[in-house]
Every structure is written in structure tokens, then in C-alpha cells.
């Protein structure tokens, strides 16, 4: 498909919404190069997500703008998780904040910029916004990104692999100091209401206990496993806990509320709660490390660079075909398209019988839901217990 005098070049509006994520720049590069090179399209970069669309902050992206971007972290365009057009924070003259519906203003900005299609790169929240614009008649193509890996209808999102690698490396480093000081180390990781990062990162790092939102845990079970390791001469333990893990007494730990966000609850702080309870329940010295935004930063892994590039290329093809209301997705090894409505129908969480959970249990990793005391003679131990002084 190429432009003709009868058909002016397609104009693609491209924005990155929600939290930043390794691989966003690779998508921007892929969309720009594919759309311009194969279809003669004009790619308009929208700054700071839907906030920039509200303000009309846009600029054309050319080859020079995206050169060398594939390995850079963050996003060339900037992003925001506080720009939901139906829940938009507007600062008044007197300094007060009013949450308003500015969707009509944004529709006008799309018309004013003569955008043929809006390409939204984002996670669950961004895809919900994208679907609402589809229902308002806007041509929208979605590209799934989130380190949380919680978007339904795709087997993986870019950014997840990088985040897992960062968690794994952090646990590797904590193992040595934990062993040296004979401490219990609790590491809190991101993921919101899904436990994928804690599960995969904890497995890769050889964590002894992994606590995730999908599997309820008891304090007694956690204490028992830590004490069991200590009684066998393993005078340290690593506990990897997802920020959204639910406490035995009920509910998540919420550190703050921000009404500028679609989901006002900001999770965080469960690591400190778990560390305090372990120290009180076992008498063992316990420390906590919160990785926080370290998981979002830095250069994307090779896997995420490839996946982000494939997503960006596929999204440009979708736009050129005149499609709308679709999100590109990974199914097995193939890139496919699915309705955005299907992608947001449910949150992708960890099933209790997921192969990663079963594999972790098989090598002796605990999830805090065990009712029987650990039996070292009958059950395989994690790698961390197989070599003296090792993980």
C-alpha cells in the first residue's frame, strides 16, 4: 500500500500511556519506521500520553528521531498515568483540583490534528481508555505494554522480561548479604493485583518463599519455613513478595491514595509488614528491600526489544489495513490481533495450577499456603539449599 494523489498519506497519532516500561522506545521506532517506510504514513508523536493529547502537544516523528532508540529505556514521548479523559485532573485558578470529563476536548484535538488512527501503547488502564474512544467512533489500535504482564488476550507484554531480570539480579545480590549476616531478606516487587513478576523473578533468583496475590498465605506457614531452614543450618532465607499480595487478615497494603489516577489506590509497604511479622514471629533478624521503580528503568532485555519491535510492526500493518478496535498480541510464537474489548474483559492473574507455580513447588519453593511442616527428607529443596553457602 502506498499513498497516491487521491489518497493523502495516513496520519497516525502515537502515544504511550500509563507507567513507563522498558521497550516503549522500541515500539515507537518500529511504528515510525514501518509506517513511514512501507506506507508513506505520517506518524505524529503525542507527548505524555492522554495529558499531551488534551493539551495538543504533538510533533511529527521522522527517521532521525527514532534512530538508535531500540536499546534505550523509558519513552521518547513521555508518559502519564494521570490522564484518563473521563477522570481528568484539572487545576482550578484557586489551586483546587477538580476531576472532570474532558473526553470531548480530546475528541476535538484528534479531529484538529486530522489523525486517521490513534495508536495507544499501554497497559490495562490505557486499553480501557482506548476502548471507550473506539465506542466514540475513533479508529484505535492498541499495543500491550506493562511490566505486570496482567493484560488478558496476550501471552506476554514487553517490559515483563526486563523487570523479571532485574528482580532476579537483585535477589542474587541479596543472597550474599543475607548469607553473610544470617538474616531473613524480604524483597518487595511490583505487579499490582497480579503475581507474575514475583513468581518468575522469585523463581529465577531462587527465593525460598514467594507470596503473590493469587495464593493466600498464613503467617504460621511463613514462620515455619523460615525456622525450618534455620534449624537445618541455613541461617538465612529470601522471601519475595508481590506488592499486591493479600494479608492473612485480609486486604492489600495501600501506601497512598491519588484521586488523579483511575485506580486511586497506590499499593506498597507489604514488604515492611512481612519483615516485621517474620522478626516478631521467629526472632530472626529480618530486613526488607523495595525495588520500586528500579524494575521499570534501564535498557530493555533482548527479548523485550524483539517483542516490542514485532508489536510495533504489526500495529503499523493494522493501521494501514484500516482496522480499528484491535490490540496486537502474542499467542505462542505468533503475533495476532484481538479485540481491545476482549483484552480488558478480565485481568490476567496467576492460576493456582500454572506450570510456573507447579515447577516452583516441585523444587521446594513455598507460597505460604502449606499446611504441613516442610519435610527435608521427602521433598526436594530449592537450589539455594543444594550448595554450601550458596543460594
Interacting residues of 223 by C-beta distance below 8 A, sequence separation 6+: 278, 281, 282
Rounded to 5°, the CA angle 146-307-358 comes to 65
Residue labelled with grid coordinates 489500535: 141
* Structural contact between residues 48 and 42, judged by C-beta atoms closer than 8 angstroms: no
Residue 118's DSSP bridge partners are: 13, 140
Residue 151's DSSP bridge partners are: 347
Instruction: Name the nearest CA neighbour of 132 among 101, 169, 178.
Output: 101
- Round to whole Å and give the CA distance between 124 and 308: 17
- Round to whole Å and give the CA distance between 171 and 182: 15
Rounded to 5°, the CA angle 314-317-321 comes to 140
Instruction: Tell me if residue 375 is catalytic.
Output: no
Q: Residue 294 burial (CB < 10 Å; 0-12/13-18/19+)?
A: middle
Distance in Å from the first CA to the final CA of the chain? 55
Q: Residue 137 burial (CB < 10 Å; 0-12/13-18/19+)?
A: exposed
Around 4, how many Cα atoms within 13 Å sit in the side-chain half-sphere?
3
Interacting residues of 207 by C-beta distance below 8 A, sequence separation 6+: 171, 187, 201, 238, 239, 240, 365, 382, 384
Instruction: Name the nearest CA neighbour of 145 among 195, 87, 81.
Output: 81
For the chain, the 3-state helix, strand and coil shares in percent, each to the nearest 5, are 40, 20, 40
Q: Which of 84, 148, 208, 304 is catalytic?
A: 148
Return the active site residues: 148
Amino acid at each position: 500500500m502506498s499513498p497516491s494523489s487521491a489518497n493523502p498519506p495516513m496520519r497516525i497519532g502515537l502515544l504511550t500511556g500509563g507507567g513507563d516500561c522498558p521497550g516503549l522506545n522500541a515500539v515507537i521506532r518500529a511504528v515510525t519506521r514501518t509506517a513511514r517506510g512501507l506506507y508513506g504514513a505520517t506518524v505524529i508523536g503525542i507527548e505524555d500520553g492522554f495529558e499531551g493529547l488534551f493539551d495538543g502537544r504533538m510533533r511529527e516523528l521522522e527517521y532521525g528521531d527514532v534512530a538508535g532508540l531500540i536499546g534505550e529505556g523509558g519513552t521518547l514521548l513521555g508518559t502519564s498515568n494521570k490522564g484518563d479523559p473521563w477522570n481528568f485532573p484539572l487545576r482550578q485558578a484557586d489551586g483546587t483540583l477538580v476531576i472532570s470529563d474532558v473526553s470531548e476536548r480530546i475528541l476535538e484535538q484528534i479531529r484538529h490534528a486530522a489523525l486517521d488512527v490513534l495508536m495507544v501503547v499501554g497497559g490495562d488502564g490505557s486499553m480501557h481508555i482506548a476502548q471507550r474512544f473506539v465506542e466514540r467512533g475513533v479508529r484505535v489500535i492498541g499495543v500491550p505494554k506493562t511490566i505486570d504482564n496482567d493484560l488478558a488476550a496476550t501471552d506476554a507484554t514487553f517490559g515483563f522480561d526486563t523487570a523479571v531480570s532485574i528482580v532476579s539480579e537483585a535477589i542474587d545480590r541479596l543472597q550474599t548479604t543475607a548469607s553473610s549476616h544470617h538474616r531473613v531478606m524480604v524483597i518487595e516487587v511490583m505487579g499490582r493485583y497480579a503475581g507474575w513478576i514475583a513468581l518468575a523473578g522469585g523463581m529465577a533468583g531462587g527465593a525460598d518463599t514467594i507470596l503473590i496475590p493469587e495464593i493466600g498465605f498464613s503467617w504460621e506457614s511463613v514462620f515455619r519455613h523460615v525456622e525450618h531452614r534455620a534449624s537445618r543450618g541455613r541461617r538465612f532465607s529470601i522471601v519475595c513478595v508481590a506488592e499486591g499480595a493479600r494479608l492473612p487478615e485480609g486486604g492489600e497494603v495501600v501506601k497512598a491514595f491519588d484521586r488523579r489516577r483511575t485506580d486511586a489506590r497506590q499499593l506498597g509497604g507489604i514488604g515492611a509488614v512481612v519483615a516485621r511479622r517474620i522478626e516478631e514471629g521467629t526472632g530472626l533478624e529480618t530486613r526488607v528491600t523495595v525495588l520500586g521503580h528500579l524494575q521499570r528503568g534501564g535498557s530493555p532485555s533482548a527479548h523485550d526489544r524483539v517483542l516490542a519491535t514485532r508489536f510495533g510492526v504489526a500495529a503499523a500493518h493494522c493501521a494501514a489495513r484500516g482496522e480499528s478496535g484491535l490490540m496486537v498480541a502474542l499467542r505462542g510464537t505468533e503475533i495476532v490481533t484481538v479485540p481491545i474489548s476482549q483484552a480488558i474483559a478480565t485481568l490476567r492473574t496467576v492460576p493456582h495450577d500454572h506450570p510456573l507455580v507447579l515447577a516452583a513447588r516441585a523444587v521446594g519453593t513455598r507460597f505460604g499456603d502449606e499446611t504441613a511442616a516442610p519435610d527435608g527428607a521427602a521433598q526436594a529443596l530449592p537450589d539455594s539449599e543444594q550448595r554450601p553457602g550458596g543460594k
